Structure 1
Amino acid sequence: MDFSLSEDQLALRVGVRELLAGRFGRERMRAAVESGEGVDRGLWAELGAAGFFALRLPEAEGGVGLGLPESVLLFEEAGRVLLPGPLVATHLAAGVVKGAAEGRAVVTVADASGRGVVADLGDADALLVLGGGVRVVGGEPLRDVVRGAVAVRSVDPLTALHRPVLPIAGTQSLASPAVGTLRCEGALLTAAEQLGSAARSTETAVQHARGREQFGAAIGSFQAVKHLCAQMLVRTELARAAVYAAAVTGDPVEVAGAKLLADEAAVGNARDCLQVHGGMGFTWEADVHLHLKRAWLRSGRWLTAAEAEEVLAGDLGAAEGVERG
C-alpha cells in the first residue's frame, strides 16, 4: 500500500506549518512558558478559523470534509511546535459541542472511572466524560467540577493538570460518537503529536551536532553522536509509517501499535537529543527538555503503553488461536 502524501496533503502540511510558525513560533512558545498562562483564546480562534478543529466535519456542516490522514498531518505539525491546550479533545468535539469547530469553545476530556488526570480543566468551556457512553459537562455543573478539582503538579509547564472529584453530575448524554471510536481517534491524534515532536527533536540534534565543535571538529563527525542521530531518525520513520498507516485503516490494533511506537520515538528522541546537547540541554534556556516533558505527558494520554501492549497481545493471541484452530 502506498502511503505517500498527495499534492493536496503536502500543501496542507506546508500551510499548517507556516500558520503555526507565524502564530506560535519559538518566541511565543517561550513567552507562554515564562508567563504560565493558560489557553490563548486568540490563537484558539485563529486555529478554528483555519479549519483545525472542523477539518473532518462535512462541508454541509461548515467543515472542511477531510479525513483522519489529513488530521494526522495537522497534529504532527502541532507536536513539532509544542502547541499547548486540549487540541485533540476539541478536535474530536467539533460538531458535538457548540463552538468547538469554530475555536470558540475549549473542550477537554475526563475518564468516568477517575483514571488519570484532566488537562487544562480550568480553561475548558466543556468537558467530555468517557465511560459507558459519552457525556458533556458545561455551564454551572462544569464550574462545580473545576471548584472541586485538585490541582496536580504537571511536569509540562504548558499543561495544567487537575484531578476532578467523581462521579461528575449534571452531564448530558450523547448518542454518538461511540466511546471506543473517540478513544481510538484520540490515541491516533496524540500519536501524531508525538511523531511531530520526535521529528523536531531529531532535527534539533542534527543541527546542534553540525554547529557545535569540540577538539577542532564538529561533534557530528564523532561516531557516538552519529549513532545517536541515526537511532533518532530510525525511531521517527518507524513511528511515521505506523501512524500514517493507522490513519488510513483506522484499525484499533494498528492505532495501538502506532501510539506505542510514537511514544517511544518522542521520549527516546528527546532523551538522545539531550545527550547530543550535553550539559546545555538540561538548562532552562534550551527547548529540548520541553519536548521531553511533553512527550512524557502525552505517553499517558488516551492510550498508555501498558494498554497498547494489551491490545497488541490480545490480537496476537486471537490470531494464534485461529491459526491453531
Structure 2
Amino acid sequence: MCFQLTEDQRALRDGVRGMLARRFGPEALRAAAGVPGLDRALWRELGTAGFFSLRLPEADGGAGLGLPEAVLAFEEAGRALLPGPLVATHLAAGAVPGADTGETVVAVCDGGPVEWLAEADVVRGDASGALPLRSVDPLTPLHRVPDAGPGRPGPRPDPHAVLLTAAEQLGTATRVCELAVRHARTREQFGRPVGAFQAVKHLCAQMLVRAETARAAVYAAAVTADPVDIAAARLLADEAAVHGARDCLQVHGGMGFTWEAEVHLHLKRTWVRAQRGGGVTESEETLAAELLD
C-alpha cells in the first residue's frame, strides 16, 4: 500500500497552506487571541475555498474528494492554529444548510466540552443546561454540558471527527518542531547557537520522531478509515502535539510564555483538542476492545 501523496494532493496541501498564510498568518493569530469572537468573513472565505465542502459530491457543489484529502486540509488548519469549530462544520456540510459555504457555523455536543457554542448558528446534539467554562486557550471558548447521568451515556464521537482532530494535532506537532529548530539555530547562549547543545538537539529530534510517527498513522487511518486505526492515530497525534509543544516551549525558555511567541498558543490548543471527541480515553477503550477480541 502506497502512502505517498499524489501530485493533486500535494497541490491541495500547498494551496490550503498558502491561503492560510495570506489570511491567517502569525500576526493575525496573535491579534485573534486578544479579540474574542469568530471571524465570520474568514469563515465564509473558507467556505468559498471549498474547505467545508471538500468531501461533498460534485453534483452537490463539492469537490468530490475523500477522507485523505480532508486530513491534509485539516493538518494545515492545525499548523496555522485556525480557530473555530472546523471539524463540526465540515462534517455538517450537506446535512446542515449553509455549512458547506461557510454561511452557517455548526457546533457539536459529543460528550466533552462544547467548542464555540455561543457563536454557532446550529448545535448538533443536546446542549441544554450548558455552562460557560474558562478556557485555557484564548482562541477556543468552551461550554460544559451536564453529564448524561447513570444509564444515559453520552453520544459516541464520530470516527471521522476523531481522525480530523488527529490531523489538526499533527499539524501542530509539525509546526512546533519547525519553531523549535528555527529558534535553536538563531538563539545564542555562551557565544554559540543553543541548537549546538546536546540536550536541545535531543528535544528537537524527539519532536521530529513523534511527529513523523503520528503522520504515518494519521495518513494510514485516512486510507483505511478503520475505527481501530483511527484510535491509534489519535493517540499518537495527541502525544506528538502535546509533548512536542511542551518540548518546543522548553527550547524557547521563558520567552515561550510571552505573547510575542506563538508556542504557548499551540500548547494550549493541544490541551483543548485532546479533550474533544471523547478524548484519549475513548481511543484507548477502542484499542483495548480490539486487543481483547
Q: TM-score, normalised by structure 2?
A: 0.95
How far residue 165 of structure 1 moved from its aligned partner, in angstroms, is 6.1
Which structure is higher in RCO with an 8 Å CA cutoff and minimum separation 6? 2
Q: Single out whichever of 306-315 and 253-262 deviates more from structure 2.
A: 306-315
Aligned length: 287
- Aligned counterparts of 2:40 and 2:146: Cα–Cα separation in 1: 26
- Aligned counterparts of 2:114 and 2:280: Cα–Cα separation in 1: 18
- Aligned counterparts of 1:284 and 1:18: Cα–Cα separation in 2: 24
Contact 2:177/2:207, CA 8 A, preserved across alignment: yes
- Aligned counterparts of 1:209 and 1:166: Cα–Cα separation in 2: 45
Aligned to 2:130: 149
- Aligned counterparts of 1:129 and 1:63: Cα–Cα separation in 2: 25
Is 2:114 aligned against 1:118? yes
- What's the RMSD between the two structures over aligned residues? 1.5
Which amino acid letter does the alignment assign opposite residue 102 of structure 2? G
Structure 1 runs of 4+ aligned residues shifted over 3 Å read 164-167
In structure 1, stretches of 5+ residues that fail to align are: 131-141, 168-178, 319-325
Partner residue of 1:158 out of 139, 144, 147: 139
1:1-325 map, 5 Å: 1-36=1-36, 38-111=37-110, 115-129=111-125, 149-164=130-145, 183-318=158-293
Contact 2:30/2:259, CA 8 A, preserved across alignment: no
Which amino acid letter does the alignment assign opposite residue 264 of structure 2? H
Contact 1:57/1:94, CA 8 A, preserved across alignment: yes
How far residue 306 of structure 1 moved from its aligned partner, in angstroms, is 1.6
Which amino acid letter does the alignment assign opposite residue 214 of structure 2? A
* Distance 1:165-1:264 versus aligned 2 partners, 3 A rule: closer
Contact 2:112/2:277, CA 8 A, preserved across alignment: no
Aligned to 1:138: none
In structure 2, stretches of 5+ residues that fail to align are: 149-154
Q: Please state whether the residue corresponding to 2:34 is helix, strand or coil.
A: helix
Which amino acid letter does the alignment assign opposite residue 129 of structure 1? G
- Aligned counterparts of 2:87 and 2:26: Cα–Cα separation in 1: 22
Which amino acid letter does the alignment assign opposite residue 117 of structure 1? P
Aligned to 2:151: none
How far residue 166 of structure 1 moved from its aligned partner, in angstroms, is 8.0
Aligned to 2:152: none
- Aligned counterparts of 2:181 and 2:136: Cα–Cα separation in 1: 26
Contact 2:112/2:278, CA 8 A, preserved across alignment: no
Aligned to 1:174: none
